[in-house]
Amino acid sequence: MSRLTLFTFQILVAVITLVLWYLLTSVPVSGGKPLFPPFFFSNPVDVIERIIKWFADGTIWRHLWITLSEATLAFVIGAVGGILVGFWFARQPRVAAVFDPYVKMINALPRIVLAPIFTLWFGLGIWSKVALGVTLVFFIVFFNVYQGIKEVSPTVLANARMLGMNERQLMRHVYWPSALSWVFSSLHTSVGFAVVGAVVGEYLGSAAGLDYLILQAEGTFDIAGVFAGMFVLAAFVIVIDGVVTLVERRLLVWRPTAADTRT
Amino acid sequence: MADEVAEAEAAARANVAPAVVLSDVTIAFHLVGGSTYTAVEQASLTVADGEFVSIVGPTGCGKSTLLNVAAGLLAPSAGTAEIFGKPLAGLNRQSGYLFQAEALFPWKTAIDNVAIALETGGVGRQEAHARAQEWLTRVGLGAFGGRYPHMLSGGQRKRVGLAQVLIRDPKILLMDEPFGPLDAQTRQIMGNLLLDLWNADRKAVMFVTHDLEEAIALSDRVVIMSAGPAARIIGDWRVPLSRPRDISEVRLEKAFHELHREICHVLKDEVLKGYAQTGGG
């Protein structure tokens, strides 16, 4: 399938869905009412109007900005923490052995139970959401760094030592790139979880943010508002994922893709 | 044969300090459960400076283990290793090691892989790169410096590995079945490349292989190890072929065949013994 045909089909799916949605919620069937009552399902015209209104009067930008800052902060803090602790544990097996059961315990804990505590500690502002995101991102990055250092090929390591690398050079030229490649390969997951942390945190109590918008609409049975918020959130996540893909391509050029592997 | 060994040892002794002297080296590993596995038992081997020695033996006989002792990657359980007359402590800084498995840094381009071998020793980045480019050209990869290892073929990766090791100008070259995974044609090309580079600057070489023909074609001396466990050195032959050689032509010479037949006879018994011990695996 050529790119153009593929794109046409992809667009077609969206168009058919929207048309079906519109027809089901606005064309009266027996009894003079549509099959799906608009009160529960809204309709695409209202939703698009709402999105346009949000962007036109500019209310959406503040909420987008809040959610983006929460996710970004959660990712940066979680990633830096995960990298530092991952390196520390991987290079100090005794420390890792001591902390191992606790790491497993915290990782097994559903992070959402921490949300009320974070709200108590950090209030309704962005920091309680950042904290929730950090607990999610940290473990993904941590496990990947740890694995990345442990899984350095023994031959590559022996070669590095035979080439005269000291401990610092081993860190820089062997452990660091290996760990980083693992972190980057899990970038989609960890960035996704940073967004999840922000959104779930907002849902459980907030004063601003994309999910705050959705929550407000839900509270007043404003279904068009709920759907509009969902679409903006979905578009937001797709944009972030696209940026991650770009970063990944730039940073992992050395890694073979399935298509160009040669032996 | 005994005369030849004595002669080799005399020659080595005359040259004040041989590159590598392994005396009664025993290597044992502690296994889970408390038992020990003796890989190599009381192996003694002398490699003179500038001498090309191949170590041949059946699979799993501990050839690579012996090489790791010479490299300082592994400490022997008993016996000593001396490098140019000095007991080896820690890594052997005067040696370069070409590994059997993939050993290039996959996150570095070919030229960076070669240059890093100099940069670790404090050579500046620019100079290291200039010299790395020279070495890549010498191994026939002048135009491939910007490629990452996964974009190179197996033979090309071995060439980069060779450049990476030789750019440091080690006095001793340790090679662990370096051309093992390559196809027959590429092996010959790589063998000739190795001989050309070695002829230009003769270093002591310990070359481990299970391919007797390759060993005879390349070396000054061929050492045979018995089947493991507790492998020993059971034979030492001087190769009566002139240099410089071409690997594919040298195989047609009569002396090559005679030596091959002689060694093969000894080796065959060992291979069979090895099979019997490992259950044919």
pLDDT by residue (tens digit) across A42-100?
A: 889 999 999 999 999 988 999 999 999 999 999 999 999 999 999 999 888 899 899 99
- Which of the four pLDDT bands, split at 50, 70 and 90, describes residue A256? confident
Residue A185, chain B, CB below 8 Å: the answer is no
CA distances (Å), origin B41, targets A183, A184, B62, B77, B91: 45, 47, 10, 10, 22
**Is B121–A164 a contact, with Cβ atoms under 8 angstroms apart?**
yes
What distance in Å separates residue B188's CA from the closest CA in chain A?
18
For residue B95, list chain A residues with Cβ-Cβ distance below 8 A.
Answer: 162
Residue A259, chain B, CB below 8 Å: the answer is no
Of A220, A244, A205, A239, nearest in space to A64 by CA: A239
User: For chain B, what are the domain ranges?
Assistant: 2-94+170-278
Residue B125, chain A, CB below 8 Å: the answer is no
CA distances (Å), origin B75, targets A64, B71, B87, B89, B280: 61, 9, 12, 9, 30
**Is A164–B117 a contact, with Cβ atoms under 8 angstroms apart?**
yes
Kindly identify which residue of chain B lies nearest to residue A177, measuring between CA atoms.
Answer: B107
**Is A255–B150 a contact, with Cβ atoms under 8 angstroms apart?**
yes
**Is B102–A253 a contact, with Cβ atoms under 8 angstroms apart?**
no
Residue B226, chain A, CB below 8 Å: the answer is no
Determine contact, residues B221/B51, Cβ cutoff 8 Å.
yes
For residue B145, list chain A residues with Cβ-Cβ distance below 8 A.
Answer: none
pLDDT per position as a tens digit, B207-249 = 999 888 889 999 999 998 887 788 888 889 898 888 888 888 8
What distance in Å separates residue B208's CA from the closest CA in chain A?
16
What distance in Å separates residue A164's CA from the closest CA in chain B?
6
**Is A156–B103 a contact, with Cβ atoms under 8 angstroms apart?**
yes
Residue B164, chain A, CB below 8 Å: the answer is yes
For residue A178, list chain B residues with Cβ-Cβ distance below 8 A.
Answer: 107
Of A233, A235, A127, A249, nearest in space to A188 by CA: A249
Which residue positions in chain B have pLDDT lower than 70?
1-16, 274-275, 277-281
**Among residues of chain A, what percentage have pLDDT more than 70?**
97
Specify the pLDDT at position A261. 44
The minimal CB distance from A156 to the residues B105, B148, B154 is found for B105
Specify the pLDDT at position A263. 41
- Which of the four pLDDT bands, split at 50, 70 and 90, describes residue A36? confident
Q: Which fold has domain A45-260?
A: MetI-like fold (1.10.3720)
Specify the pLDDT at position B227. 79
CA distances (Å), origin B275, targets B162, B181, B214: 33, 22, 22
Answer CATH for B2-94+170-278 from 2.60.120.10, 3.40.1010.10, 3.40.50.300, 3.30.1280.10: 3.40.50.300
Specify the pLDDT at position B274. 66
Please state which of the ranges A103-112, A140-149, A161-170, B228-237 shows the lowest mean pLDDT. B228-237
**Is A262–B151 a contact, with Cβ atoms under 8 angstroms apart?**
yes
For residue B91, list chain A residues with Cβ-Cβ distance below 8 A.
Answer: 161-162
What distance in Å separates residue B91's CA from the closest CA in chain A?
7
Determine contact, residues A137/A79, Cβ cutoff 8 Å.
yes
Query: Where, residue-wise, is CATH 1.10.3720.10 in chain A?
Result: 45-260
For residue A165, list chain B residues with Cβ-Cβ distance below 8 A.
Answer: 120
Specify the length of chain A in residues: 263
Specify the pLDDT at position B40. 87
